């Protein structure tokens, strides 16, 4: 500012006042968000992710930003002046995307036996949901299991669900079609305890024993407990076949009168085409419009399922029935059932064994080696004697289901399962559905794998990149993401995740486990 030579005292005072006011105006300029951070949080930080294209899991447009982390929390997103801070580690994310860690809403595995979970980390999964299909750790007080897992330290975060079948076993109900009122009360008490311990809800496996014996009254009573705790019921519905899927979903929606519900690994076995998918999606959308609770689904991007061989056996040949007695007294009836069932499921070539001694071979191959009809091979194996993959789904139908904005991604996989979905699902979404086929944008894929599942689960402060959220995040170039696992080699780790950060620490880098940083998440 140019100061004119004052001609009198009054003019001199005016100029002095102008100088003071100008000085005050400059001194009152608002501090930047980064300056405010330094004032409130100090200058010492653990990890800085620099110059990445941030997809926060919520917005569809990436923005160039730095991410500053202390302990297990994100403290700042924006432009960071590195000269103003002291940081222990720096990740250069130039030319790469930074996203929240992926959340697998339907997974399997035993962290007490195999806590590393590299298969999930290599895909970018930082949180998995266990206790699926009605089967959870058989503890009267589930806190004991949670504490054991935390003492080991899993590679990923674990959100646990109470299994309905396990509640039946713990309560003494077992395989009873109609539990006594006192037995239902016992299940309610066990479920309440599990929810209070931190479980996120209950899973059902109504296609399996003992869950298949449950009726509406029992399931409604337990749904009311889940709803009172603001939890979620995830269901492997009673029958996924094309002619039964609507009725099976409607059964779950009846429980949805009392709590949030989610269809596990949504599929239509034997169904064909996008029009059939639209019918299923319309059913879910109508339920969503008319419910105060959420109605969602998850899906894995493969057209082969995987489960125990018991899926092809009649209920009267499975527990609590005596299989050896069934073989003796109803042998021809059972052989005929198996012959028709496998033929309806695309023939013996469409069943691929995943367990020894037949792992990697189809039922047709095993039967040919034995020189006998495939149904006789199955008869000897029995409903509990093997697991396998079943090629019973339609690509067009499943692809349309996958595109729906209310359908999130899961793997339904584990570190040991003989199916590529446990090692490839999330990578395949990016590689095939985003990069190759462009079914949806990378931002939408990230949302379906992060904030959408976090919202469905009621997972607090995860699933998005925001200040105050837990620091589960990924750094990667989407063009380099590859799902390497195949049905012949199902245990090949996915490629392309440069850094996987779990709870603020680098857990997986350049294809290798660095350190286990996960924990049991309690709702």
Question: Number of helices and strands (H, E) in the chain?
Answer: 17, 22
Q: What is the pLDDT of residue 513?
A: 98
| Residues 183, 330 within the same domain | no
Tell me phi and psi for residue 231, to 5 degrees: -100, -165
> Model's pTM, two decimal places?
0.92
Which has the closest alpha carbon to 268: 287, 250, 249, 252?
249
| Residues 288, 331 within the same domain | no
Q: What is the pLDDT of residue 23?
A: 46
| Residues 196, 297 within the same domain | yes
| Residues 160, 185 within the same domain | yes
| Residues 361, 420 within the same domain | no
Residue 45 in domain: no
Task: Answer for the pair 99, 126: CB distance below 8 angstroms, yes or no.
Answer: no
Task: Give the tokens for residue 403.
Answer: 């595109």
DSSP strands (E only) in 102-229: 102-104, 125-130, 157-160, 162-163, 201-205
Judge if the upstream peptide bond of residue 357 is cis by omega within 30 degrees of 0.
yes
Q: Which domain holds residue 115?
A: 102-302+407-458
Task: Answer for the pair 433, 445: CB distance below 8 angstroms, yes or no.
Answer: yes
Q: Cα–Cα distance between 393 and 291 in angstroms, integer?
A: 30
Q: What is the pLDDT of residue 29?
A: 64
| Residues 344, 446 within the same domain | no
Task: Answer for the pair 464, 103: CB distance below 8 angstroms, yes or no.
Answer: no
Residue 264 in domain: yes
From 441, 458, 475, the end of a domain falls on 458
Task: Answer for the pair 406, 284: CB distance below 8 angstroms, yes or no.
Answer: yes
For the chain, percent helix, then strand, then coil, each to nearest 5? 40, 20, 40
Per-residue tens of pLDDT for the chain, all 523 residues: 444 455 565 555 555 545 544 444 444 567 889 999 999 999 999 999 999 999 999 999 999 999 999 999 999 999 999 999 999 999 999 999 999 999 999 999 999 999 999 999 999 999 999 999 999 999 999 999 999 999 999 999 999 999 999 999 999 999 999 999 999 999 999 999 999 999 999 999 999 999 999 999 999 999 999 999 999 999 999 999 999 999 999 999 999 999 999 999 999 999 999 999 999 999 999 999 999 999 999 999 999 999 999 999 999 999 999 999 999 999 999 999 999 999 999 999 999 999 999 999 999 999 999 999 999 999 999 999 999 999 999 999 999 999 999 999 999 999 999 999 999 999 999 999 999 999 999 999 999 999 999 999 999 999 999 999 999 999 999 999 999 999 999 999 999 999 999 999 999 999 999 999 999 999 9
| Residues 122, 174 within the same domain | yes
Side-chain half-sphere of 133: how many Cα atoms within 13 Å?
A: 16
Q: What is the pLDDT of residue 12?
A: 54
Quote the distance between the C-alpha of residue 113 and its chain's center: 20
Q: Cα–Cα distance between 109 and 327 in angstroms, integer?
A: 33
| Residues 126, 232 within the same domain | yes
Residue 22 in domain: no
Q: Which residue has the tokens 């996960």?
A: 518
Residue 261 in domain: yes
Give the CATH number of the domain where residue 153 resides: 3.20.20.140
Residue 60 in domain: no
| Residues 316, 296 within the same domain | no
DSSP for residue 15: H
- What distances in angstroms separate CA 313 from CA 40, 135, 340, one per listed residue? 64, 20, 11
Task: Answer for the pair 227, 259: CB distance below 8 angstroms, yes or no.
Answer: yes
Q: Cα–Cα distance between 299 and 48 in angstroms, integer?
A: 34
Q: What is the four-CA torsion angle of 249, 254, 255, 261, rounded to 10 degrees?
A: 40
Domain count, the chain: 2
Q: What is the pLDDT of residue 31?
A: 84
Task: Answer for the pair 134, 164: CB distance below 8 angstroms, yes or no.
Answer: yes
Pairing relationship of beta strands 162-163 and 201-205 according to DSSP bridges: parallel
Q: Cα–Cα distance between 191 and 301 in angstroms, integer?
A: 32
Side-chain half-sphere of 132: how many Cα atoms within 13 Å?
A: 25
Q: Cα–Cα distance between 62 and 58 in angstroms, integer?
A: 10
| Residues 229, 353 within the same domain | no
| Residues 179, 285 within the same domain | yes
| Residues 415, 358 within the same domain | no
Which has the closest alpha carbon to 67: 84, 95, 83, 46?
46
Q: Cα–Cα distance between 197 and 146 in angstroms, integer?
A: 9
Residue 41 in domain: no
Measured at the alpha carbon of residue 55, what is the angle toward residues 52 and 57, in degrees to the nearest 5?
150
Q: What is the pLDDT of residue 24?
A: 45
Strand, coil or helix: what is 224? Answer: helix
Reduced 3-state DSSP string for 327-357? HHHCHHHHHHHHHHHHHHCCCHHHEEECCCC
For 290, other C-beta atoms within 10 Å of its C-beta total 10
Strand, coil or helix: what is 106? Answer: coil
Residue 495 in domain: no
Residue 325 in domain: yes
């Amino acid at each position: 500012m140019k100061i004119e030579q004052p001609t009198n005292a009054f003019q001199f005072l005016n100029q002095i006042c102008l100088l003071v006011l100008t000085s005050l105006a400059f001194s009152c300029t608002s501090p930047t968000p980064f300056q405010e951070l330094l004032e409130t949080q100090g200058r010492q930080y653990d990890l800085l992710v620099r110059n990445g294209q941030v997809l926060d899991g919520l917005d569809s447009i990436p923005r160039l930003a730095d991410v500053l982390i202390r302990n297990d929390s994100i403290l700042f997103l924006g432009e960071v002046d590195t000269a103003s801070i002291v940081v222990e580690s720096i990740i250069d994310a130039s030319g790469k995307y930074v996203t929240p860690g992926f959340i697998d809403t339907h997974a399997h595995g035993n962290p007490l036996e195999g806590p590393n979970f590299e298969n999930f980390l290599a895909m970018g999964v930082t949180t998995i949901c266990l206790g699926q299909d009605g089967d959870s750790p058989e503890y009267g007080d589930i806190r004991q299991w949670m504490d054991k897992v935390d003492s080991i330290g899993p590679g990923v975060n674990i959100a646990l669900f109470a299994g309905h079948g396990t509640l039946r076993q713990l309560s003494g109900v077992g395989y009873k079609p109609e539990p006594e009122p006192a037995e239902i009360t016992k299940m309610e008490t066990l479920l309440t305890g599990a929810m209070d311990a931190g479980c996120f809800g209950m899973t059902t496996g109504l296609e399996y024993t003992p869950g298949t014996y449950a009726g509406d009254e029992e399931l409604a009573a337990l749904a009311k407990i889940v709803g009172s705790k603001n939890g979620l019921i995830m269901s492997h519905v009673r029958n996924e076949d094309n002619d039964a899927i609507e009725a099976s979903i409607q059964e779950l929606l009846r429980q949805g009168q009392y709590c949030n519900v989610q269809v596990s690994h949504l599929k239509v076995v034997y169904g064909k085409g996008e029009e059939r998918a639209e019918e299923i999606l319309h059913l879910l959308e109508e339920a969503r419009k008319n419910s105060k609770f959420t109605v969602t689904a998850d899906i894995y991007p493969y057209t082969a399922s995987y489960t125990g061989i018991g899926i092809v056996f009649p209920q009267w040949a499975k527990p609590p029935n005596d299989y050896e007695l069934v073989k003796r007294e109803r042998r021809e009836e059972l052989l005929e059932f198996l012959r028709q069932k496998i033929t309806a499921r695309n023939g013996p070539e469409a069943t691929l064994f995943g367990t020894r001694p037949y792992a990697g071979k189809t039922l047709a191959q095993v039967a040919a080696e034995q020189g006998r009809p495939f149904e006789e091979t199955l008869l000897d194996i029995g409903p509990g004697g093997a697991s396998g993959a079943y090629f019973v789904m339609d690509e067009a139908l499943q692809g349309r289901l996958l595109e729906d904005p209310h359908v999130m991604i899961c793997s339904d996989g584990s570190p040991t399962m003989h199916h590529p979905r446990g090692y490839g699902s999330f990578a395949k979404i990016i590689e095939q559905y985003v990069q190759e086929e462009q079914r949806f944008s990378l931002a939408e894929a990230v949302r379906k794998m992060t904030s959408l599942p976090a919202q469905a689960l009621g997972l607090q402060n995860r699933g998005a990149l925001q200040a105050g959220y837990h620091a589960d995040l990924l750094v990667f170039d989407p063009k380099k993401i590859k799902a390497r696992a195949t049905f012949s080699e199902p245990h090949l780790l996915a490629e392309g995740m440069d850094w996987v950060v779990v709870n603020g620490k680098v857990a997986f880098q350049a294809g290798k486990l660095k350190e286990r940083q996960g924990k049991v998440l309690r709702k």
